[in-house]
Each structure stands twice: as structure tokens, then as C-alpha cells.
Structure 1
Amino acid sequence: MRRFRILAVTLVMALTLSTASVFACTAVYVGKDVSADGSTILARSEDQGSGAYNKMFVVVDRVENVPGRTIDDVNGFSYKLPETTYKYTMVPDYSDAGDGTYAGACTNEYGLSISATVSAYAKPEVGSVDPYVEGSLREAALTEIVAATCKTAKEGIKLLANIIETSGSEEGNVILLADQSEAWIFEVYSGHLWAAQKMPTDKVAVFGNQFMIETVDPLDTDNFMYHKNLFETAEKYGWTEKVDNKVHLAATFGEAREDYSNMRTWMGHRLLAPSTVGDYKTESYYPLFYAPDKKVSALEVMDVLRNRYEGTKYDGALPENAGLRFIGVERQSQIHVIQVKEEYPADISALQWLAFGNAEHSVFLPNFSGINDTYAAYKVDGERPNYDGAYWKFKRICALAEQNRSFYGQGVKDYWKLYEEHLYSDIQKAEKQMLALYAKDPKKAKQYITKLHMEIAEKACKDADHLYDDLLYFVMDRNGRKLDRRGGPFVASVAIRDAANMKGYTLKWIAKDKTITLTKGSTVYSIIAGDLEYKVVKNGTKTTGKFSETPRVEKGITYLPFDFVSAL
């Protein structure tokens, strides 16, 4: 992801070099044969040039037989739409950002999902021969163009290729597309040169801001597409790099490997397939696709996009690594993990997990494609903070948590991790209900998933407000003194009803002695708000324990400390 416009051909490479460390994204792919639930997974963090950048989440309705419409970018590029366009979801910038829509990630009614883009950079000599074209196709518009007009990934590639070959591209991009049958990676190297590869179903990929397609067999038209003059142009100007007598596209067209992007690519490999990657080397061309050591779940992909090189000598917790570019960077604005379900009806076939703020200290919330609308907080517009907006609710927690990751942030991460795991379990049950309803009445199924989206988003926004209040009080209470003077690190609080639901307990209120009981099987906890001690009976044996923080009542809701809840 990048937020700049190329104003003149002569400035192309200067701008590229000066902004490569500012505007960036990280992408993840998981093939359906190696995902935990058999879905194809596309994921990406959208990283900005600044830490505060409002994003929204909206549904764009299908339009039937309306001629004369266009998608217009602020750079002067305009794309004429067909009379009928498709319904899709998107994650756009706030409307007065001034640099285009930047739809980010889309899922449409035909089961097509697109994540765009990961910005990438070509060799200077490539730009000299075929420079980017000012006023042409950019990331800001291309995602929405494909979602509105294409039914398959391959159709999306052909459309983008046609636009780039005829009108040009203003920037280098890497785009991921998937439908229910196949997934593709599409790379734009210069003003007009491009290539695409079908992604294998039994492999995974993680990469930073660099071109990644490796060796290509020009005769393998089932798995590759490319500009008709791609190989001839490279050969004519002496760019061609070969491995095993095959042209290696990343080495042929892309800039040399450097730590800013390549370390993220290496770390992704280390996370998903540690058995097949060694120590990090800057100059290495790490493979685009490789087999994971075990099947990969959407939850694990979320954690990849949070990663700060933990467990390595590059760990972000070490002071000497403060200047490194991590995957889980503080200037993320929206982060999405899209699961494409092969056997589902096309118009409800994608499940998008969406996080606002920074993945490290935010939460991924599920949304089925096919929803009719989005929750009001997702549509709050504007550049400045408005805490009715979902982005700002989650981002302000991140901003506090990252002032001290071990003392403030870990408690936030623990809270959202349990929250996500519970949602992940619940959404699998919801999928069954959605499919059962769809078999009888597709309209009712879409009403159901829209209502589910609203309920999940509303609750998460309320819980985010409570978590922020907890954390802000904790930070203020320790302001001006040593952090450990008033006890240990931040511990979030959890509503007792949520604790019961998450851990499978039955909740009961006993009015006469103001006791709340949590019961599961032969285990019974007895809790009184305001009392630091609790009683527990396990298999007939009675004991007492102490909370780390006294349970309290706020607005009629009893809250328990997170460490107690997580241990239930």
C-alpha cells in the first residue's frame, strides 16, 4: 500500500526509493488443500504513511441497466462501467482523504474476492524503458473496478491487463484474487508490463513489498498469463535473469532484495514452514510458494499479520531492533483475512475477518459476503477522531497499548485473543445456520447474516469502549511513577456473562446472599462483587481463591479480571 502520486516520469525512481520505507503492506495466501477448514485464504495488512488513518467498511449495491456511470480516480483516470454492476463489500478510505477510494479488499456477489495491493518496485532500468504512466490505473481504483464488473479471478486479471496495456499503470503493484475455483497473483512491473500466476492449492505464501513470481514456463498457459512482449522486452534490454534455464521474473524485473521487505517474507516462511527456511539473509530470493509444516487456520494468519519477529534475534522487544520494519507495524489501518469457501453458494461464499487499527492490539471481526448493510460505526467518515467510529474505537486502544507493550499491551492482546477464538468457534455454528436458511430462502439467509454482522459489530464496539476505559484508567493511575509500583501489568476485565459464554459455564444469580455462581459439570465457582476472594467446589472439594483484581459492578454488569477468566 502506498499513498503518493508520481507527478513526473523523471521523478519515478526517486519517489520509489524515497517512499519505499514509508508506504507498504504484507500479504498472506493459504491454499485450500493446506488450510485448516478447506477454504482458500487471502489476507493483507493495509499500512499507511501515518499512524492515524480512518477506514470504513461498506456494502455497494448491485445496479441494473444504468448507463453512463464511471469509476473516477483523483489522478484523472476514469473507467467506464457497464450498465449493470455487481454487489460487493469494500474497505475504503474516509471520503475527504483526497487520494481516491482505495477500496482495499472486496468480496462480490459472484464469489470473487480481491485484495489490492502490495506495492512493489522495479529496477531503475525497467522504469527508464517503460515508465509508469501519470494519470493511469492506480491501486486507488483497481480493486473496485474488478469487484464491480468481474465474476472470476481470471476475468479480473484479463480486465486489469487490458487496462494496463492500453492506458498504463501509474505504479508497481502485487494483487491477489480468488474465486471458488482458483486463486491468482498478479504483478504489475512497469507502465505496461505485467504477469500473473495461478496459486497452487497445496502451498502458502507470505511476502512484503517486493515482486515474488519466480521462474515461468511461457508455454504453461494454464498456470501463467503475461504481457505478450514481457520476455522479449527483458531480453532486448539485458534484464533477463534465469534459474534452471527459466526466466525468474522477480529477479528480472524487481529491485534487489533488501531488509525492509525481504525480512518480512523470510519471517512469514519461518512462521508457517520453519522446517524449510534457515537463518535470514538479505540477498536471498525466498520462494513465493512453499508447503506449510501443518495446516493453517485463519486464526494463525491473523497472528502472522501481528508478528514483530518474536523469538528471533530481530525481535521487536529488543532495543537494538527498534528501527526494523516488522509485519505488525503501528501504522496499519485495516487488516483483512478472507476465507473463500469452495462449496458454498457464490453470493455468500466469502467470510472476511476485518480488524481496524493495528492487528497487534486489535481484534478481527467476521463478516459474511452477502450482507445487505454494515454496522453504523463502520460508516463513520472523516479525518479527525470520532469515537462513534469503529476505526477510532479500536485505534485508540492500540495507541495506548503500544506505549509500553509488556506493561500495557500484553493484557490487551490476551483479551482480544480469547475474544477472537470465541468468535471463531461461534461463526462455525453460524455458517451451518446460514446454509440451512439459504437452502430454503436465500433472502432470509442474507437477512440472518446481516443481523449477525450488526450484533457482532455492536457488541465488539461496546467491548472496545470498556477495554479502552479500563486501560486508560490503568495508564493514568500509574502516570508519574514507576509502572510496577502499583502491582503488575494491565489486566483487562470481562463481563461475567461473556466469561460464562466463552468458557461454557452456566451463570446464576442468588439474590439472598448476592452471590453469582458459574457452573460446569462438577465445578462451581461462587463470586460476590466487591469481594477479593471466591469459593470453588471441584468434585466435591471446597477451596477458596483470590482474584488479582476485585470483581466490580459497572452499569449493572459484573466484571471479572481477565486472568481469572482465561484460567476457567
Structure 2
Amino acid sequence: MRKFKVMAITLVISLLLSTVSTFACTAVYVGKEVSTDGSTIIARSEDQGTGAYNKLFVVVDRVENVPGRTMDDVNGFSYPLPATTYQYTMVPDYSEAGDGPYPGACTNEYGLSISATVSASPRPEVEEADPFVEGSLREAVLTGIVAATCKTAEEGVDLLAETIETYGSEEGNVILLADQKEAWIFEVYSGHLWAAQKMPADKVAVFGNQFMIDAVDPADTHNFKYQKDLFTTADKNGWTKKENNLVNLAATFGEAREDYSNMRTWMGHKLLSPSSVGDYATNAYYPLFYKPDAKVSALQVMDVLRNRYEGTKFDASLPGNEELRVIGVERQSQIHVIQIREDYPQEISALQWLAMGNAEHSVFLPNFSGITDTYEAYKVDGEFYNENGAYWKFKRICTLAEQNRSFYGQGVRDYWNFYEEQLYAQMQNAEKEMVTLYKKDPQQAKKYVTDLHRSIAQKACKDADHLYDQLLFFVMDRYGRTAAKLGNPFVADISLRDAAAAKGYTVKWAGNGTPIKITKGNTVYSLTIGEDLCIVTKNGKSTEIKLEYVPTVKDGVTYIPLNFVMTI
């Protein structure tokens, strides 16, 4: 993600948070041969310099044969678009942010997905020799340019290379691109120097704000692309760092390793391949790609992007670790996990999981790339809090939960984890329906995925509103109490029918004060509105379970405690 755009803001932040870099974002890659479902996964958290930063989610329509258009940045850069541009989704800033659109993550109609960027800095002498070009290409527009004009990841690489060599780059960036065939990582080292690598299908990667392409054989033009003078420039200036007779581009062009970024890179390695990484070392050049110890699912990638170094001596909840730059930072604005399937129809070949707010206490919601519109809450614009906006609905829960991660936050995390697991299972059925429909009628398939996106988002927003109301009351009710009188930690409630469906139970209720019976096989749970005892009958023998709190009805929906649901 970006550096701060205004010097005054940079100065204020540096004074307030002197140990925190102005760079942000963490990226994840999973090759299709090592993912649990055979999908290629690219993912990234978009982190900001402030805690409240509204993000939208929209569809940009295809434009046919309209010449003379440009894609413009606020820094004066203007890119001439072809007469026909492609449909794509994007996750832009709110319109009043004033620093360009920042599309964030895009999926287009030709099966190309792009995530940009992870900001990174070159060595000072590299920037001095080839300075960044003011008024040239920035993160603010590059994602949209590629999504609007390219059909494959390699086309995107070539377009970025041509654009940087023609106009220059204003900043150092790391970009991920993937299609149904292959995936690439693209690094911008200076005003005109760049390199790209085809990402191996049998490896994974996680990295913070640092250049990562390591051992490169300049003769391997199948797996690498680079600016024609890249290696000669390094040799001429004495920058070249080699590893087993191969050029290590990260060491050659990148700034020295530091904890701010390198610790996140190490932690990602430790999460996905603990057998191949040791204790953390600040100066270590951890490999970009490595084999995971087991196949990796999209759900695991979501958890990587939530990580706060739990289980290590760097755990951010431990005293003295408060200032460490974690992966799951509170300043995340949108976090995406994009799965690209080679066996899907091209127009709907990507399944994007999108979380608004902070991944730690928010939820990833799915949408297929063939959608023609987005749910209305994703389009609520503006800088300030608006309860109708999707970003704000989820962000406000994060803000409350993070006041006390163990007492408030754990119940929120449990709720959204359960929610995601059900959505993940639902998408496996949805993708089959989508593919079947597409074979009969592509337009019906696109309508199906659009309607599915809207229904999931609408329900999630409604459920988020209920969760927020419940958590806010819980926090208010305990405000001012001593620790000894706080009682039990927060437990979210959940729709009884959602819970029963997820667990494979049927629900019967006659109303009028009668017990609600949820049944599977020879097991029956009987609950009564307003009573905290549940009668469990198995094989004719009954026992009692005391609930965390009584089942309630709100707006026609019956709610029960989540911790009870987890036991059935």
C-alpha cells in the first residue's frame, strides 16, 4: 500500500508513531499444486496510515469502441486507453480521499486477477542512480489499467514493463497477477528498473513491504522478465549480490532487511512451512518461494492475514510487543483472497473473498468474478462513518472487539470463523451450479453469481448489524466494572435456523410458548424462549444443559448462543 501523500501528515505520523514505517500491506501466494482445491491463490491486506478509511466494492462495465479515453491519476499521469476496455471488479478508495482511485484488487472478464500493491523501497544508491519519476505511474491507477486492458497475467506484466519504461514509476511496488494458466510477481525497483518472475505452481509465498525476488538466472527468460539494463546497471554500480552464482535481486536492489517487514515474511513462512524455517533473524533473506508442509486452503490464507504472531515470543498481546508490526494490523481497510480455477468458465474463473475493516474481527465474503453489479452497501461513499456502508458495518465491530481481544474479541472471532466455514462449504455447491448454468446460458450464470453475491452480502450486513448491537450492549453493560465483576467473556448469538442448517439438524416449533425442537437422528435438543435450560434427549435419555443466556427473538429471528451451537 501507499506512502502517505502529504508531507505534513507524514511528519505528524512519524512523531506519533516513530517506530512505525509509512509502508503497509502483506501479500500471500499459493500455487495451484499446493492448494487444497487446485486453485491458484493471490491475497493481500490493504493497510492504511489511519484506522478509519472507507473502501468500496464496485463493477466497472465493459466499454465498446469508444476511442480517446484515458485513465488519470491526481499526480498528472494520464494513460491512453484503447477504444474497448474490459469489465472488471475493483475495491477503490472513497471518492473524497483525493489521492486517486486505488482499485486495490481487480478480477476481469478474461479471468485475469491482479492485486496491487505491496510498497517497497530500494537501496538509496539505486534510487539516486535512477530516481523515481514524479507524475508517472503509481499504485493509484496501475491495477485498473491492467484489468481494463489485459487478458492474461503475462500481458499484464508486459504492459506494466512498457508503461514504466515509457513513463517511469513514481514509487517502488510489488504486484501479483494471476490467470487460469499462470501467476507472476512484478517488482518495481526505481524510476525505470523492474523485474518479474513466474510464480511456481508447487510453492507458496508470504511477504511484507520488501522486495523478494531472489536468485535469478538472467538466461532463464521462460521464468523471468526484466528491464534490459537491469543486470548491467547493477554490475556497473557495484550493487550486484550473488547467491550460488545467481543474482539475488532483493539483496541487489532492495533496502536492508528490517523487523517491520521481515518479521511478517518470516511469520508467513512459519505458518505455512514451519519445518523449513528456524528462529527469526532480522538480517535474514528468507526465500520468496517454498513448499508448504501441507496443502493450503483459502480459509488458512485468511487466517495468515489475521496473524499477530500468536504462538511466538513476538505475540503482540505480550507485554513489550505492542509496537511490533504484525500482519493483522488494526489499520487494514480491505483484505482480499482471490482463488483462480483453471476449470471454471473464463468469465467467472475467480472467486474473491473480501473482508472490510480488520481481518482479525471481520468476515471474508465470497463473490465470483462474473458478477455484473455489487450489493448497495458496498457502494456507500464518503469519508465519515455511515451505518449503511459495508465498510463501516464491519469496521465498527472490529473497533469494539479490539478494546479487549480476550474478553470482547474472542467471541467475535468465533462467530465470524463459524460464518466463514459455512460460506466456504456453500461455495463448493454454488460453483457446481454456476458451471452447469454457464454451459446452458452464460448470461444466466452471471445472473446467478450476481444474485448470490447480493444475497450473501445482504445477509452478512444484517448479521453484522445484529452482532454489533449485541456487542455494544455487552461493552456498555460492563463499562466501569472491576475485573472481578466483569463475568464471562462475550459470546455472540446466532440465528437458530442458520445454526441448525450448518450442523445438519431440522427445526420444529409451534410457537405459543412451546419448546423449539432441533433434531438429527435420535438426538433432540429442546429450547424455550426466555429460558436458559436446554433439554437434550438421546436414545430416550434426557439431560439438561445450561445456556450462556436465554434464546431470544428479534425481528422474527430466533437467536441462540454460539458456544452452545459449537457443542451439538
Global fold match (TM > 0.5): yes
- Encode CA deviations 1:243-297: one digit per residue, 9 max, x unaligned: 1111110000000000000000000000000000000000000000000000000
Q: Verify the 8 A CA contact 2:4 2:22 in the aligned structure 1.
A: no
Q: Paired residue for 2:410? A: 410
Alignment correspondent of 1:104: 104
CA distance in 2, matches of 1:449, 1:43: 21
Task: Return the letter of the residue paired with 1:316.
Answer: A
SS in 2 for 1:408: helix
1:195 aligns with 2:195: yes
Partner of 2:60: 60
- Residue matched to 2:269: 269
Aligned 1:249-398 pairs, distance under 5 A: 249-398=249-398
Q: CA deviation at 1:172?
A: 0.1
| Stretch moving more, 96-105 or 546-555 | 546-555
Separation of aligned partners in 2, 1:325 and 1:220: 36
| Structure 2 match to 1:521 | 521
Q: Which residue of 2 aligns with 1:497?
A: 497
CA distance in 2, matches of 1:6, 1:491: 42
- Equivalents in 2 of 1:559, 1:22: separation in Å? 43
Q: Amino acid of the residue matched to residue 49 of structure 1?
A: G
Q: Which amino acid aligns with 1:415?
A: Y
Q: Contact (CA 8 Å) 1:264, 1:326: kept in 2 or not? A: yes
Q: Distance in 1 between matches of 2:245 and 2:30?
A: 28
**2:141 corresponds to 1:141:** yes
- Trace 1:121-136 onto structure 2 (pairs within 5 A): 121-136=121-136
- Asked if the contact 1:537/1:543 (under 8 Å) is kept, the reply is yes
Other-structure match for 2:217:
217
Equivalent residue of 2:45, what SS? strand
Maintained 8 Å contact 2:19/2:323 = no
Q: Distance in 2 between the 1:219 and 1:130 partners? A: 24
**Matching of residue 120 in structure 1 with residue 120 in structure 2:** yes
Write the deviation string for residues 46-69 of structure 1: whole angstroms up to 9, x where unpaired.
000000000000000100000111
- For 1:524-544, what per-residue CA distance to the aligned partner results, in whole angstroms no more than 9, with x for missing partners? 101101011111111222111
Distance 1:478 1:344 in 2: 50
| Local SS of the residue matching 2:158 | helix
Tell me the equivalent position of 1:537. Answer: 537
Matched to 1:561, the amino acid is P
Structure 1's unaligned 5+ residue stretches are none
Please give the alpha-carbon distance, in whole angstroms, between the structure 2 residues aligned to 1:216 and 1:334: 33
Tell me, what secondary structure is at the counterpart of 1:510? coil
1: CA distance, partners of 2:430 / 2:502:
16
2:204 equivalent to 1:166: no
The residue that corresponds to 2:2 in the other structure is 2
Contact 2:59 2:88 in 1 (8 A): yes
1:477 partner SS: helix
Q: Distance in 2 between matches of 1:274 and 1:36?
A: 18
2:47 corresponds to 1:32? no
Asked if the contact 1:515–1:528 (Cα under 8 Å) also holds between the matched residues in 2, the reply is: yes
Contact kept in structure 2, 1:3 and 1:48, CA below 8 Å: no
2:20–2:325 contact (8 Å) kept in structure 1:
no
Q: In 2, Cα distance between the equivalents of 1:483 and 1:422?
A: 35
Residue type matched to 1:79 in 2? Y
1:74-118, Cα deviation, whole Å (9 max, x unpaired): 000000000000000000000010000000000000000000000
Give the AA of the match of 1:228: K
Asked whether 1:472 is paired with 2:464, we answer no
**Residue identity in the other structure for 2:560:** L
1:3 touches 1:99 (CA, 8 Å); kept in 2? no
Structure-2 separation of matches of 1:527 and 1:124: 67
Contact 1:120 1:211 in 2 (8 A): yes
Q: CA deviation at 1:21?
A: 1.0
Q: Note if contact 2:153-2:184 (Cα within 8 Å) is conserved in structure 1.
A: yes
Give the secondary-structure state (helix, strand or coil) at the position aligned to 1:319.
coil
The residue type equivalent to 1:481 in the other structure is R
Q: Does 1:22 align with 2:25?
A: no
Is residue 513–residue 529 contact of structure 2 (8 Å, CA) maintained in 1? no
Partner SS for 2:96: coil
* Partners of 2:482 and 2:497 in 1: CA distance: 34
The one-letter code sitting in structure 2 at the alignment partner of 1:346 is Q
Take 1:19 and 1:439, find their aligned partners in 2: how far apart are those partners?
Answer: 55
Distance in 1 (alpha carbons) for counterparts of 2:198 and 2:372: 31
What SS does structure 2 have at the residue aligned with 1:321?
A: coil
1:426 is displaced (CA, Å) by: 0.5
Task: For residue 484 of structure 1, report the CA deviation from its aligned partner.
Answer: 4.7
Aligned to 1:555: 555
1:470-504 deviation line (CA, Å, top 9, x unaligned): 10000000001124514210010111111111211
Aligned amino acid, residue 22 of structure 1: T
Q: C-alpha root-mean-square deviation of aligned residues, in Å? A: 1.6
**How many Å separate the matches in 2 of 1:242 and 1:346?**
40
**Identity fraction in percent:** 73
In structure 1, give the amino acid aligned to 2:202: D
Whether the 8 Å CA contact 2:23–2:120 is kept in 1: the answer is no
Distance in 2, Cα, partners of 1:383 & 1:484: 40
Distance 2:332 2:22 in 1: 12
CA shift at 1:554, angstroms? 1.7
TM-score (norm 2): 0.97
For 1:46, what is the secondary structure of its paired residue? strand
User: Once the 2 structures are TM-superposed, how far is the Cα of residue 343 of structure 1 from its aligned partner?
Assistant: 1.1
CA distance in 1, matches of 2:18, 2:403: 28
Instruction: Return the alpha-carbon distance in structure 1 between the equivalents of residues 281 and 274 of structure 2.
Output: 15
The Cα of 1:550 is off from its aligned counterpart by 1.3
SS at match of 1:96: helix
Letter in 2 for 1:224: F
Where does structure 1 differ by over 6 angstroms across 4 or more consecutive aligned residues? 17-20
TM-superposed CA distance for 1:5, in Å, is: 4.0
Amino acid at match of 2:320: E
Residue 562 of structure 1 deviates from its aligned partner by 1.1
Q: Structure 1 residues 549-558 or 256-265, which shifts more?
A: 549-558
Matched position secondary structure for 2:29 = strand
Which residue does 1:451 correspond to in 2? Answer: 451
Q: 1:18 to 1:116 in 2, by over 3 A?
A: farther
User: What SS does the aligned partner of 1:41 have?
Assistant: strand
Distance change >3 Å, CA 68–CA 484, structure 1 → 2: farther
2:69 is aligned with 1:76: no
Secondary structure at the counterpart of residue 474 of structure 1: helix
Residue identity opposite 2:496 in structure 1: I
What SS does the aligned partner of 1:327 have? coil
Following the alignment from structure 2 to structure 1, what is the Cα–Cα distance between the partners of residues 551 and 532?
Answer: 7
Kindly indicate whether the alpha-carbon contact (under 8 Å) linking 1:90 and 1:105 is maintained by their aligned counterparts in 2.
Answer: yes
